[in-house]
Structure 1
Amino acid sequence: MSAENRAITRIHVEGFRSLQNVDLEPGRVTVLIGANGAGKSNLLSLLRMVALMRTQSLRRYVGEAGGASALLHYGPKLTKALNIRLEFEQKTATNAYSARLGYAAGDTLLFLDEAVEHRRAGSDVTQLTSLGAGHKESILEEAAGEQGDPTAKAVRWWLSKTNFFHFHDTSFAAPLRQNSRQEDVRFLHSDGSNLAAYLRSLAISEEPARQAAWRRISQLVRRVAPFIKSLQPTLVDPANPETSSVRLDWVDERDQLFGPHHLSDGTLRCIALFTALGQPVDSLPAFLSIDEPELGLHPAALGILASLVRSTSTHAQILLATQSPALLDLFEPQEVVVTERAQGATTFRRLDPERLKGWLEDYSLSELYDKNVLGGRP
């Protein structure tokens, strides 16, 4: 099935942090822009939580987030439950996943309901399949077993193909700079902790698609960091190639070898971003989100990143959360969603190109944002 014929068409959330009651209809590319605390990252966190629910990791997520009371909108006294609904469209049908999670003893969440839905294209009849209630971990995986429900299988596929990338941590102890296990190459981790091993797997692969991805990533890196002659992800212990970990080495224009700790924060983020977006098509998530991709990037690098987002969006839906007005100028008005927060609740508002037509004859999107014509300012 081609990427153009499948998409997440609706994300509805009630009661999750600042997302009191929001609807978002993602396109091939969606750019969320707004001030600190507006709620952009809350949406990305929600999507990450749903993806982890598929692997029965809800309790782990809730614990790491500080408990259920930290996730419910203004706590359990105001919000007793949170509702999630995702709709997935393909050429022949629309499927949906919904969950209602209530506050439970021990500052945890309990499934009050979990369901999947199926509707054939052109039909008004929706087939609802309840997965039950009272459980503390999703039973979607069980429902989508070998002889399981076809709709549950379709939803499981979607959730398994949803990923969230965040490369904020570039400190000396950051996962991005550490050695990684060479066998850990099935997919790029959301924090880039297996970046070195993943790049090496592309570099040594004999598959044409993976070779092409390696060349593409290498060329993009050289465009933003010309001093890098080549990336050389290397076995730390070549005498034991089967068990050695991998380090992200690189060679400069004077053929001097350096390690990952000699890369600037911005350059390291570029490498990670280009790898996430430039990986082989068969490895790409169907839906990927990136939080603040502009961090540490030179304006020229932003343009290259936007071009890569555009080309990758033919194979995957991409959601960006940003505070950078400059990034807006690299996308179409209808791809921009202004994120604001009023009285503790987040709102999403997609720009209307027709309403802005007169303004855009004289001003760029970034100028209109800075003038607060678009909203979304602190």
Structure 2
Amino acid sequence: MLTTLAVENYRSLRDLVLPLARLTVVTGANGSGKSSLYRALRLLADTARNGAVAGLAREGGLPSTLWAGPEVHGRAVREGRSPVQGTRRTKPVGLRLGFAGDEFGYALDLGLPVPGESAFNLDPEFKREAVWHGPVLRPAALLADRAGPVVRTREPGGGWAEDPHRIGLTDSMLSEYADPRACPELLVVRERIRSWRFYDHFRTDADAPARQPRIGTRTPVLDHDGGDLAAALRTIQEFGDATALATAIDDAFPGAELSVHNTDGRFELRFHQHGLLRPLSAAELSDGTLRYLLWVAALLSPRPPELLVLNEPETSLHPELLPALAALVATAAKEAQIVVVSHAQPLVRALEQISGEVASLELEKEFGATVLAGQGRLDRPAWHWPKR
């Protein structure tokens, strides 16, 4: 389980270190940085697939994602006696992301390349990467250390391997040097990050993939577009927790039942509701009902991930469905660590009532930077970045 998440210089996340629990709910007003935190987690996950550079390019490149404020706010600015203005930079430009748990920690530092003749001078480069044992980075706990193109790995005896490995400056050591013989821990960290799962704003319009019949195959993991919804629900019924599935449906729609109709291999959803003479197909369901069924399929996956991140799952749901959604999230948290980003206070309160292990984190803005409400310097989890 991850216990700490750290972000530095990503959009409004100037210097954020958050404690994580088995079930963490992140709330805050509009513009407080919730979406930036969600995207930072996705960017961190992209690193394990060597997609960090491409992920930043989709957001406009590294310069457009960096913290837009000054390096420090002087006392006069904080007291309102002076306008915000630029200062002389004392640290190199960089975007830093990292996490830690009881077993392993990982951190990366992305920066701009040295100016040259290349047309790709805006491609960010990995300046530092580190994987360590335990919750806090210490020199003695380092397992793999990357500086520029050079990767060093720790040998079983405690020393460093004699022949360091060289990789491209835009490549992550997680994807390019996960050798089970040289450093099996690096491979473990990579595969754990690759198992992370993200769901964000399922489509429920008339042409949504979830409303269309589709050839069904065993589907332990719901696709991000929800197009394999019927197959995913049938997989839960046959190979997963069918009782939890029935409970989740009954909690939201008392007396309703769910079935999957198979016509020559094409799966189609059938929703049996009390008082109706025939079941409804996915094409006939309301946006809120369909979205709830999508969350059921995502959260009751027979193959739970290491980390499941949900972005505003309450979207398009009637307030009466939020207690059922909270119960569903709490059930899923027994098998996977979950982070929920939400601005729906009824959902947050329902989660706090159902689960005794939920950690509620409220984000707010302070001089344009996202901070954790009520967190002082001494309240932050212990965290150290690898130095360039």
Separation in structure 1 between the aligned mates of residue 278 and residue 182 of structure 2, nearest angstrom: 56
Q: Is the 8 A contact 2:202 2:226 kept in 1?
A: no
Task: Spell out the pairing of 1:94-109 with structure 2 (5 A cutoff).
Answer: 94-104=103-113, 105=120, 107-109=122-124
Q: 1:269 aligns with which of 291, 302, 311?
A: 291
RMSD: 3.1
Separation in structure 2 between the aligned mates of residue 191 and residue 347 of structure 1, nearest angstrom: 32
Shift of the 129–83 alpha-carbon distance from structure 1 to 2, 3 Å rule, reads same
Q: 2:365 aligns with which of 331, 341, 359?
A: 341
Larger radius of gyration: 2
Shift of the 220–350 alpha-carbon distance from structure 1 to 2, 3 Å rule, reads farther
Separation in structure 2 between the aligned mates of residue 109 and residue 75 of structure 1, nearest angstrom: 20
2:211 is matched with 177
Q: So what's the TM-score if we normalise by structure 1? A: 0.76
Separation in structure 2 between the aligned mates of residue 312 and residue 350 of structure 1, nearest angstrom: 29
Separation in structure 1 between the aligned mates of residue 339 and residue 208 of structure 2, nearest angstrom: 24
Q: Is the 8 A contact 2:327 2:351 kept in 1?
A: no
Task: Spell out the pairing of 1:96-175 with structure 2 (5 A cutoff).
Answer: 96-104=105-113, 105=120, 107-119=122-134, 125-134=140-149, 135-175=169-209
Output the amino acid matched with 1:346. Answer: T
Q: Is the 8 A contact 1:81 1:102 kept in 2?
A: yes
Output the amino acid matched with 2:294. Answer: A
Task: Give how far 1:124 is off.
Answer: 9.2
Q: Is the 8 A contact 2:306 2:337 kept in 1?
A: yes
Separation in structure 1 between the aligned mates of residue 122 and residue 211 of structure 2, nearest angstrom: 35
Of Structure 1 and Structure 2, which has the larger fraction of its residues in helix? 1
Separation in structure 1 between the aligned mates of residue 69 and residue 282 of structure 2, nearest angstrom: 42
Render the CA deviation track for 1:26-51: whole Å, top value 9, x for unaligned.
01111111111211121111111111
2:249 is matched with 221
2:99 is matched with 86
Task: Give how far 1:255 is off.
Answer: 4.7
Output the amino acid matched with 1:88. Answer: G
Q: 1:31 aligns with which of 25, 30, 51?
A: 25
Q: Is 1:61 aligned with 2:82? A: no
Task: Give how far 1:85 is off.
Answer: 1.4
Separation in structure 1 between the aligned mates of residue 37 and residue 51 of structure 2, nearest angstrom: 18
Q: Is the 8 A contact 1:218 1:231 kept in 2?
A: no
Task: Give how far 1:154 is off.
Answer: 2.5
Separation in structure 1 between the aligned mates of residue 95 and residue 199 of structure 2, nearest angstrom: 24
Separation in structure 1 between the aligned mates of residue 230 and residue 321 of structure 2, nearest angstrom: 21
SS at match of 2:247: helix
Q: 1:231 aligns with which of 259, 282, 297?
A: 259
Q: Is the 8 A contact 1:251 1:257 kept in 2?
A: yes
SS at match of 1:50: helix
Q: Is 1:250 aligned with 2:271? A: yes
Separation in structure 1 between the aligned mates of residue 35 and residue 2 of structure 2, nearest angstrom: 18
Shift of the 183–131 alpha-carbon distance from structure 1 to 2, 3 Å rule, reads farther
Output the amino acid matched with 1:250. Answer: F
Separation in structure 2 between the aligned mates of residue 344 and residue 162 of structure 1, nearest angstrom: 30
Separation in structure 2 between the aligned mates of residue 166 and residue 343 of structure 1, nearest angstrom: 29
Separation in structure 2 between the aligned mates of residue 325 and residue 310 of structure 1, nearest angstrom: 16
Q: Is the 8 A contact 1:184 1:198 kept in 2?
A: yes
**Which blocks of at least 5 consecutive residues in structure 1 are unaligned?**
1-6, 353-378
Aligned pairs, how many?
Answer: 326
Output the amino acid matched with 2:101. Answer: F
Task: Give how far 1:183 is off.
Answer: 3.7
Shift of the 271–114 alpha-carbon distance from structure 1 to 2, 3 Å rule, reads same
Task: Give how far 1:178 is off.
Answer: 4.0
Q: Is the 8 A contact 2:249 2:257 kept in 1?
A: no
Render the CA deviation track for 1:140-189: whole Å, top value 9, x for unaligned.
13332342412212311320232111134322233433445534724223
2:158 is matched with none
Output the amino acid matched with 1:335. Answer: A
Separation in structure 2 between the aligned mates of residue 181 and residue 107 of structure 1, nearest angstrom: 43
Q: Please say which of residues 321-330 and 41-50 is displaced more in the overlay.
A: 321-330
Separation in structure 2 between the aligned mates of residue 39 and residue 201 of structure 1, nearest angstrom: 36
Task: Give how far 1:307 is off.
Answer: 2.2
